Structure 1
Amino acid sequence: MTPTLLLATDLSRECHAAFSRAIRLAADSGARLDILHVIDPWLPGTARPGVDEAIEAEIERTVEGLCATHGVARPELQIQIVPGDAYAEIVREAYERGTQLAILGTHRKHGQADLVNGTTLSRVLRRAPCPVLSITHTADFRWHDVLVPIDFSLASRYILKEVLTRLPGVRLTLLHAWDMPVSRELSADSGYRRWREQERARLRQQLERELERLMGELDTEPDIELVVEQGDPTEVLLNRLVQQPPDLLALGSHGRLGIGQRAPSSLMERLLSEARCDLMLCRTW
């Protein structure tokens, strides 16, 4: 069966980068590209034929232009124009089509996490049955450096496998954060500092063994840097994104990092409002 990519687009300027990336990914992988545009469900029925034709014509023009820009053949396409709630229709289409990867543009409100909560992108990232890409950069911007936060969970193993399978040849930085209670209060104690360094070394060795086992399963030898830092996992990740921003951040959806929570201050909203890189989120279960 031909693999399927799903591009959800409102044809806005903010979605152009996602359109560009989707064309490139479909051309490189040989996948079929399903393009979904959701329209107002309250649009009068008599207006639908003309609206649908105009939207489909614009999509066709955009596809032809991007194929020419990137010098690639037109991928196999299916254009779907449906009325409804954008979030619900995107998730439904992903389920019904057995989509391997969904691609969305970003209408991020940088620095305004409270305006991100409840957006279409935020809701799709939480509920889609497949990995979701939130795209900021066009396909001309190649992914070289990929950051993957990891712990010892099934979610982090899953996202690492997804990245290694989908993005061969990239440089991976694996970030593990560990937080200790009362670390500030004990930081002046020399015995505590010695224990902390021993614990850091133990964690690194454990992570290296886990990685060696996983690489053996996948039969691959990627370019990997392992970074172990002490601190709150959310703050460690956000600080890393500011100090050493990657081209792509890839992470699994599980509660430890706040993904899937509904609170406005969850990591999801902070990433969408603060991160300047592309984002891939994989729902683990």
Structure 2
Amino acid sequence: MRLQTIVALTDFSTAAEHALDRAALLAAEHKARLHLLFGAEQPDPKFVDPQARLEQRARQLARRHDLPVKALAYRGAGVVDEVLRAAVGADLLVLDKRAHQGVEQLWRGGTLSQILRRSPCPVLVVQRAAREAYAHVLLAVDFSPAADAMVRYASGLDTAAAVELFHAVDLRDEAKLRSAEASAQAVRAWRAQMQRHAHDRLVRLSDAFEARRNRVGMTVGMGDVARQVAVQQERSGAELVALMHRRRGWMLDLLLGSVAQRLLGDVGCDVLVYPHDYAGAAPRGTTAQPRVARRWTQAI
């Protein structure tokens, strides 16, 4: 998988500049075009001409990473609409975790939640300074039909990174067993069966890495997805977590929250959010790589 166009959003804050740096590193890795876009819900008055500053940053990144960088013109349609327009045809959208929001966004959701709900491409939310390539990537998979495409896409961001496939077993069926007064032995047997089933499906997903040099891990957790992924990220030290995002209406997101948004509140690493209906799921190009060295598995 090779990215061809990356769009990065900035408001020139420190967090947003981290996102620009990560976008530039990925663009250099993939020899991709990098498009920069300015967007701020609350513009900083010290930036009198943000477009001029954006063009300056484009020149700086182009020189530093030896890649084509373009400063996109801001048309004044609102941050979310501008971002979504720029992301059409892109392979990846990169931005920081924007916590502030206006009165209207309290109802429709903040900038980030609106973008996650409507983005035409995967979204990388950067939460750390980008000093080097990712070394460990944690992929939270749900075994949906799009899981294979998500795994191939996310693992292709940095082909030198160690990859860990993770699945959290839903415990709602266990709660039904307990409510039916099933014995402790029956509950333990059910858990063991679910762990074996999840492991077998992770093994099948890992077939996508038969051409990778690095190690591929497989881990099974039990319980709430966002919480279990956060726990495993802290345990493994992964610099990037990737997960599938199922689009829902803004009202459901407001009432229930999405797994992606909850996860962003629990981890301090970067998070890749992959839309389950991503139209560009099929890879545009692949490169031959050596076979995988070995697999490792654990259950938590």
5 Å-filtered alignment, 1:117-196, equals 118-178=109-169, 179=171, 180-182=173-175, 189-196=184-191
1:56 to 51, 59, 66: 51
Change (3 A) 1:102 1:75: same
Q: Would you identify which runs of 4 or more consecutive aligned residues in structure 1 move more than 6 Å?
A: 114-117, 185-188
Match of 2:96 in 1: 105
Aligned residues: 259
What TM-score, normalized to structure 2? 0.74
Shift of residue 276, structure 1, vs aligned partner:
0.5
Q: Distance in 1 between matches of 2:191 and 2:127?
A: 38
Q: Distance in 1 between matches of 2:158 and 2:274?
A: 14
Match of 2:27 in 1: 26
Q: Distance in 2 between matches of 1:269 and 1:209?
A: 28
Unaligned runs of 5+ in 1: 41-49
Q: Secondary structure at the match of 1:81?
A: coil
Match of 2:37 in 1: 36
Higher helix share: 1
Identity between Structure 1 and Structure 2 (%): 26
5 Å-filtered alignment, 1:64-83, equals 64-66=59-61, 71-83=64-76
Shift of residue 66, structure 1, vs aligned partner:
4.8
Change (3 A) 1:101 1:202: closer
Q: Distance in 2 between matches of 1:28 and 1:251?
A: 22
Q: Secondary structure at the match of 1:269?
A: helix
Question: How large is the RMSD of aligned CA atoms in angstroms?
Answer: 3.2
Contact persistence 2:84–2:119 (CA under 8 A):
yes
Q: Secondary structure at the match of 1:235?
A: helix
Q: Distance in 2 between matches of 1:117 and 1:241?
A: 30
Match of 2:197 in 1: 202
Q: Deviations over 1:171-211 (max 9, x none)?
A: 11111111232266779623432343244223312331343
Structure 2 counterpart of 1:161, one-letter code: R
Q: Distance in 1 between matches of 2:39 and 2:142?
A: 37
5 Å-filtered alignment, 1:253-268, equals 253-254=245-246, 261-263=253-255, 265-268=257-260
What TM-score, normalized to structure 1? 0.77
Q: Secondary structure at the match of 2:146?
A: helix
Q: Distance in 1 between matches of 2:28 and 2:198?
A: 41
Q: Distance in 2 between matches of 1:38 and 1:268?
A: 22
Q: Deviations over 1:228-252 (max 9, x none)?
A: 1222333322333444442011112
Contact persistence 1:158–1:284 (CA under 8 A):
no
Structure 2 counterpart of 1:25, one-letter code: L
Q: Deviations over 1:132-177 (max 9, x none)?
A: 1111223214311111111221232221010233321211111111
Q: Distance in 2 between matches of 1:152 and 1:165?
A: 19
